[in-house]
Structures are given as C-alpha cells and as structure tokens.
Amino acid sequence: MSKKKVIIDCDPGIDDSLAIMLALKSPEIEVMAITIVCGNSPVSMGFSNAKKVLKFMNRLDIPIYIGEPSPIKKKYVNALDTHGEDGLGESFLPEVDGFENSMDAVSYMQEALKKEKCSVIALGPMTNLARLIERDIDAFLSIDELVSMGGSFKSHGNCSPVAEYNYWCDPDAAALVYKTVYDNHSLIHMVGLDVTRKIVLTPTLLEYMNRLNPEVGDFVKRITKFYFDFHWEWEHIIGCVINDPLAVAYYLDREVCSGFSSFVQIETLGISEGQSVVDSMNFYKKEANAKVLNEADCERFWTMFISRLTGTSPDKLDILKEII
C-alpha cells in the first residue's frame, strides 16, 4: 500500500518532538517536511529543535521550513515556561548546523499541497495555515486531511479557564481555519485536551521505554524531565501530558480516538479568546466542520507509541497493560 504523505506543522516543543519521532517510525506515512510555526518556541528555536530531533532520528534528509514568527494579530506569547528555555526541556542538546531552507513554510505548503495529495498534521498554533488561506485558499483546500492538536470540548483550558494553548496563542488564525473549513463544507479533526489529557507519560512508562531501548529512553528522559517538573508544579501530575503524539497516532489509526461531528467556532475576543466553542447539541443548526475527538483508547495509543519508538514488536510489550 502506498505511503500517505504528510506535512507536520509544529512548534517544537517537547511533545511536538515526541510526535515527530512517532511519525518517523511509522511506515504508513511519508513525512514530506516539517514546517515550523511560532508557538511553544520562537520559530528560530523551533527550527533548531526540529534539527536536533531529526539528527537523533538520523533523518536529516527531511526538509524543515521556517514559518510565521508571530500570530496574525495577537501579540506573540511563547510557552517556554512549559518547555524550558531551549524549548526542549532544557536538555541543551548540541546545535545542528546548516539545513537552512531559502523557502519559507507557507510558500512550501502552497507549492507542495497543489502538487500532490498530502495531509497536514498541525501540532502548533495555526498561523502558517491561516497565512496559506490568505495567500492561496485553493492550496489550503487541497489538503487531503487536516488533523489539529488543539482546542477543548469539555476539558478545562491550559492557558486560560477555557482555551487550549495552540488556539489561544493565535485565536484569529484558528478562527480563520475553522471558518474556511466550514465555508467550504470540509472537515478538521480536532484532537483536543479532552483526549490528550488522558495520555500521560508516567515515570513507569518512561522507565519501560528505557528498558526496551536505552538510547531512545535516554533521549526521551532528557527532553521530558523539565516537563515532568512543570506538570507536578502546576497540575500535581506525576508524569507529563504528551498532547501532540496523540494527534499523529490518530492520523495513523482512527481507532485510537473516537468522537462526534459538530460545528465548531473559535472565539477571538475577550476573556474567552481561543476557546473552541463546540456546538455538540446543534443549537445553531450549522453544518459540522469538525470531527471532535473526546474518547481515547489509551492502551492502543501506548502500544503504538512505545512499540514504534523503541522498535519493540507490539506482541512483546508483555507488561504494558499493567503499567498504563
């Protein structure tokens, strides 16, 4: 079966990095490129971190394109408090020189999406996608499937009482994407906090990964230690929520999450800016523009994530059921 082509639009970022690792270890897909957007890290740092991950994965053949350095309207607010001053958990991995691309991310998306059938897995704020809509809506509408880690249906926000960071960081971009999808009778897969909060990398799961593959385990430990500390301090969680890998896993295997179709609009103003308003009861009688995921099969996810990152056959993960 031919590989499905994907562009990973991200803001690495600790969990973005884990998501990239999963994608690169998944034979069903061909990662055409990594496009960087301002978010967790400023784009220059995101570019640097993407190179560090691709170097670890021995995949520096994959092009990285630098995207929008700031949201389309709102003042840029990074999330380095969560991801560390280097955006990679203060692992301070050695810089990887070179690999600058003359083309910017939006130009790359515009060219690539019109050339061949390709999906986009969006793991950061939607600024690059919004600029693509503004520049060439046909290119945006050529996206085969659009999966977004972002938003929240009933789960509380992670950077305001009601908003998830990716949509809060650039609410105008998210609003334009969802409106464009609605206006064109299309669909976006919203992998929000309702499902990602169920995916907690615990010390035991991390140690299991380390036992199965010490090299991978050490790398994951190095980039997640800071994230573990952050989660204990802010949410008294022992472990860390790894949001982005779930969006990749869902793209690979739709059984990983389940949900419902609904009209969704993103609030752009005031105290609720960035909130994904999910009309699950169809009050507004509007056509669904989103598949909202609200249930996750954690065992299915962890089987995929751990087996693929460590290179262990799923049927050899004999203790996984006991530790998730």
DSSP for 175-199 reads HHHHHHHHHTT--EEEE-HHHHTT-
Interacting residues of 213 by C-beta distance below 8 A, sequence separation 6+:
309, 310, 311, 312
Contact between 168 and 159 under an 8 Å Cβ cutoff? The reply is: yes
Q: CB atoms < 10 A from the CB of 80, how many? A: 16
- With CB under 5 A as the contact rule, the residue among 8, 9, 16, 129 that binds Ca ion is 16
Give 24 or 317: the residue with its C-beta nearer to ligand RIB. Answer: 24
For residue 292, the minimal CB distance to ligand RIB (Å) is 16
Q: Out of Ca ion, ligand RIB, none, which partner does residue 249 contact, by CB within 5 to 8 A per kind?
A: none
Both structure tokens of 311: 């290179």
| Closest to 23 (Cα-Cα) out of 313, 220, 248 | 248
Beta carbon nearer to ligand RIB, 57 or 149: 149
Show the site string, 2-41: x = touches ligand RIB by CB under 6 A, - = not.
---------x-x-xx----------------------xx-
Site for Ca ion in 183-212 (CB under 5 A): none
20 interacts with Ca ion by CB under 5 A: no
When binding is defined by CB under 5 A, the residue of 6, 7, 13, 105 that contacts Ca ion is 13
User: For ligand RIB, which residue has the nearest CB?
Assistant: 165
Q: Which of 42, 67, 87, 124 contacts Ca ion by CB under 5 A? A: 124
In 3-state terms, what secondary structure has residue 101?
Answer: coil
165 binds, among Ca ion, ligand RIB, none (CB under 5 to 8 A by kind): ligand RIB
Distance CA 181, CA 184 (A): 5
Number of shown-chain residues binding ligand RIB (CB under 6 A): 16
Binding positions for Ca ion, rule: CB under 5 A:
11, 13, 16, 123-124, 244
